[in-house]
Amino acid sequence: MKFDFEYWSSLDSRYIILTIEAGSKADAVKEFKNMHPHKKHRLLDPLDD
């Protein structure tokens, strides 16, 4: 499944949407936190393939 995360980029001064493909919501959140450990995020509705 694909999961979309929205987070604020202070460098770009805008919201960024990042799509992560993972087997579960927990795996997607874990991957996002590994990539951006200090970013607050919002998980958008999941997309099915």
**Cβ proximity of 1 and 49 under 8 Å:** yes
Nearby residues of 49 by Cβ (< 8 Å), 6 or more positions away: 1, 2
Q: Fill in the DSSP letter of residue 23.
A: S
- The answer to whether the pTM exceeds 0.85 is no
**Cβ proximity of 42 and 32 under 8 Å:** no
Q: Return d(Cα 20, Cα 4) in angstroms, integer.
A: 6
pLDDT tens, residue by residue, 4-46: 999 999 999 999 999 999 999 999 999 999 999 999 999 998 6
